[in-house]
Amino acid sequence: MMKLPLVSGVDGTESSLRAVDWAADEAALRGLPLRLVYASGREQYEGAALALTPGRPSEQVLAGHILEFAAERARCRRPDVDVAAEVTPEDAVIALLREGRHAEALITGGRGRGALTGLLLGSVSLALAARAPCPVIVVRGDRAGIEGGHGRILLGVGDPEQGPAAVRFAFREARARDCELDAVCAWRCPGHNHADPRRTASEHLYHKERAATLIDEAVAETVREDPTVRLHPAAVEGTAAKVLVQRSAAADLVVVGAQRRDGHPGPRLGRVAHVLLHHADCPVAVVPLAA
């Protein structure tokens, strides 16, 4: 059976080239082909203006050069990976969402704006994380995190009804990298009853044990299927977003379920995924329920 490719969006920025490097390494780890896509639709008017300027290449020619440079970069980095590349005239979000229907995962850069580059997420990456039918990996963070120098995958565990897709994804990543997997569930004790220390201690213990149970329930099936992964469950006091952002500084990848919310104008991500995509110190994988 033909393997689905990893798909990486290319736009010529340094952020997207880092994503291409990461995608090439990931494809080599998992034995998958890599497909690079340059969507020029967002610059169609700008491209038309360039075409009318004497001595300036057209947008199509520029896109071809950018894409070929990215493809050659990936081939040189990982000669064993089958790399394909395509320029499409569509809008980047539309093109990559379509690609995501037949992809193992979509990989993009975490491009920022102005002086906050690296903090603020590009609109394309955010839209893909909110809407793609496959996992979306946004390559962001410090050098150690991007280059996989920690030997650790971080899995955020929340509501067990979010499905096992994110858990299976995290286990697969840990196995492919031969690294440890931290399954973390954050918990908080309601801020009342502080006048009774015994009741406060009891409530703390209850919430901590409940978080530990959530981890056990979330990973139980996957542990049975893949017992070789070195799993470290941790019930940690604090908000989920804050705990995972802090722990991302010692991880090579943080994995969370999509937890998309209905009832809003357009698809929206849950708070935890949204915060991680903007502030994590390593690449972030957002895995939809049915991935």
Domains of the chain, first to last: 1-140 (3.40.50.12370), 144-291 (3.40.50.620)
Distance CA 56, CA 124 (A): 27
Enter the pTM of the model.
Answer: 0.87
Which amino acid is it at 127?
A: A
Distance CA 210, CA 36 (A): 43
Distance CA 110, CA 121 (A): 5
For tokens 């590009």, name the residue. Answer: 122
CB atoms inside a 10 Å sphere around CB 279: 20
pLDDT of residue 56: 46
What 3-state class would DSSP assign to 65? Answer: helix
pLDDT of residue 260: 61
pLDDT of residue 190: 74
Distance CA 75, CA 100 (A): 22
Distance CA 16, CA 8 (A): 8
Residue 56 and residue 107 in contact, taking contact as beta carbons nearer than 8 Å: no
Distance CA 291, CA 288 (A): 5
| Two structure tokens written together for 14 | 């340094």
Q: Determine the Cα angle at 122 with ends 118 and 126, to 5°.
A: 115
Strand extents, DSSP E, the chain:
6-9, 34-39, 83-88, 105-109, 136-139, 152-156, 180-187, 231-237, 253-257, 284-287
What 3-state class would DSSP assign to 256? Answer: strand
Q: Output the tens digit of pLDDT for each of the chain's 291 residues.
A: 689 999 999 988 999 999 999 999 999 999 999 999 999 774 443 444 444 444 445 677 888 899 999 999 999 999 999 999 999 989 999 999 999 999 999 999 986 433 344 444 578 899 999 999 999 999 999 889 999 999 999 999 986 656 789 999 999 999 999 999 999 999 988 765 555 566 677 888 898 999 999 999 999 999 999 999 999 999 999 999 999 999 999 999 999 998 665 554 445 678 899 999 999 999 999 999 876
Distance CA 246, CA 241 (A): 9
Output phi, psi for 90, to 5 deg. Answer: -75, 165
Distance CA 183, CA 112 (A): 29
Residue 209 and residue 181 in contact, taking contact as beta carbons nearer than 8 Å: no
pLDDT of residue 137: 97
